[in-house]
Amino acid sequence: LSGESGRSSDKKARVLDSTAIILGFTEPLSGRMITSRKVLEEAKYGEAEYRALASREGHMIEVMDPDRKYVEEVKKFAAKMGELELSEADLSILALALQLLKEKYEVSIITSDYSIQNLASLLGIEVEPILHRGINKTIIWVAYCSMCGWSGDKKPGEPCPVCGHPLKRRPKKKT
């Protein structure tokens, strides 16, 4: 359906969260693939770090930081909606997407995070959920704390044993 809406097809952008980076989201896509420095920081372990670096080296995934005003806008909106468990990386993804939307991009977020999905749809940003692509079969999940960085064998939603913040989950590795 390209050209249907009159929007230029080269103004298409996908914003990738840390799960997308960790899993090596490299299927051929049109448009720009963008992530933030915060996401790369959050994905800083083993294979993930390598993938992130390789992607950057290959210019497949651009690294962009959102303008502060969009970060503030997203922060305020998240608080208003009661989404209080978002990490700096999560906020940066939403802020980037919002910024690209304002710059007239046809933008979507690639994520597996429910809070990001929820806020994105409330902000009118399209979401492409990773877990609906069938690749979750190969993921080993690990619970982690987005506040203090603890990770280990607990269930998402349980309080962090160190700081008490509700735990989130991320893929440990691809099998």
- Can you give the binding site for Zn ion, defined by CB under 5 A? 145, 147-148, 150, 160, 162-163, 165
From 100, 145, 93, 141, select the one nearest 118 (Cα to Cα).
93
CB-based contact 108:125 (threshold 8 Å): yes
Q: Which is nearer to Zn ion, 60 or 148 (by Cβ)?
A: 148
Residue 29 vs 163, nearer CB to Zn ion: 163
Smallest separation (angstroms) from Zn ion to the CB of 167: 8
> Which CB atom, from 46 or from 164, has the smaller least distance to Zn ion?
164
Task: Compute the distance between CA of residue 171 and CA of residue 48 in angstroms, rounded to an integer.
Answer: 10
- In the sheet with 151-152, reading across from the earlier edge strand, the strands are 151-152, 139-144, 168-174
CA atoms within 13 A of residue 7's CA, in its CB half-sphere: 15
Chain CA centroid to CA 165, Å: 20
Closest CB 85 distance from Zn ion, rounded Å: 11
Least distance in angstroms from the C-beta of 140 to Zn ion: 21
Among residues 72 and 157, whose Cβ is nearest to Zn ion? 157
